[in-house]
Amino acid sequence: MSLFLYCRDMGLTWLREGRLPFVGADTLLDPFVTSAAVKQPDGVVAVSEEEYRAELKSQYDALPEALSSLVTFEYFVEQAAQKRESIETQIRQRSMPDAIRLTEKQRKSLTLLSLYERVDNPVLWQYHGDNHRGVVIELDQTHSFFTSKQYRDDPQLFTPVKYLQERPLRLREVHPFSPLFTRGEQYQSEREWRIIRPVAVADKSMESNGQTLYLNKMPAAIIKSVTLGAIIDNELKQSILSLMKSDLRYRHIPVYGSYLDATQYQLHRIREN
């Protein structure tokens, strides 16, 4: 099976370098990862008498024996009545759904690479392929470069993105990085996969358009094809064709052009070399 890396104006650079550009998790323009302001539920949820007494019983049982032996539970309940409002507030806060949030430290220590199942998605070409002027590199997703649980002796995680309406909640999810692998249902047509690695495993880093990219050296064997954008600049096109023809790593790899369907909003790939 294959996955596809959509590249903007740097696709030729990644081929020359033989590296893949990971981005810092802290640079994702996704408020559901960065935990922007949260709207609390409307209205006040009522706390039942059973919930209230269960909370007091828990507090009573937690008293040191020297104190609990001096008062009965019913007396403890009577005294707690003066603070019932604050106790109910605590109960409501604990019972509220709490989405998993990545701390700033976690986001700064992680890098990720986004890959997609389709090479002919016009939306992806527009937003990730430089408005059809970039390139797409086809990669072998079954290679150990992706499937191994470790990369350079550090853990990595490679999995498809889940598209859900409900955010990952602490009471249901156990993986601390689940927000990086979950997106809203509105994005499900992208069919994205993500691979996460620590910042420390990158071979090198570089600045591009004000963003730090973390480059990870890749085996040439994982590249299966290169696809050029439908309106790619001719100079870039010729440079890529020349590289793929002259570089021993890539001579066997096909290069395709993207061509518009004559009657439908659809892209076709036609081999160029």
Q: What is the pLDDT of residues 9-29, one digit of tens each?
A: 899 999 999 999 999 999 887
Query: Rounded to an integer, what distance in angstroms lies between the CA atom of residue 194 and that of residue 151?
Result: 15
Burial of 99 (0-12, 13-18, 19+ CB in 10 A): middle
For residue 177 the two structure tokens come to 């990085």
Asked whether the predicted pLDDT for residue 67 surpasses 70, the reply is yes
Provide the pLDDT for residue 16.
Answer: 97
Checking if the pLDDT of 251 tops 80, the result is yes
Residue 173 has pLDDT above 60, yes or no: no
The phi, psi pair for 60, rounded to 5°, reads -65, -45
Q: What is the pLDDT of residue 246?
A: 96
* pLDDT of the residue at 72: 87
- Reported confidence tier of residue 273, pLDDT bands at 50, 70, 90: confident
CA distance 148 to 222: 14
The answer, yes or no, to whether residue 41 has pLDDT greater than 70, is no
Res. 172 pLDDT band, cuts 50 70 90 = low
The confidence score (pLDDT) of residue 170 equals 66
For residue 55, is pLDDT > 90? no
pTM for this entry: 0.80
pLDDT digits (tens, 9 = 90+) for 110-169: 999 999 999 999 999 999 999 999 999 999 999 999 999 999 999 999 999 999 988 877
Under a CB-based contact definition with an 8 Å cutoff, are residues 105 and 25 in contact? Answer: no
**pLDDT tens digits for range 207-217:** 988 889 999 99
User: What's the CA angle centered on 26, arms 22 and 30, to 5 degrees?
Assistant: 100
Which tokens sit at 100?
A: 């998993």
Q: What is the mean pLDDT of the chain?
A: 90
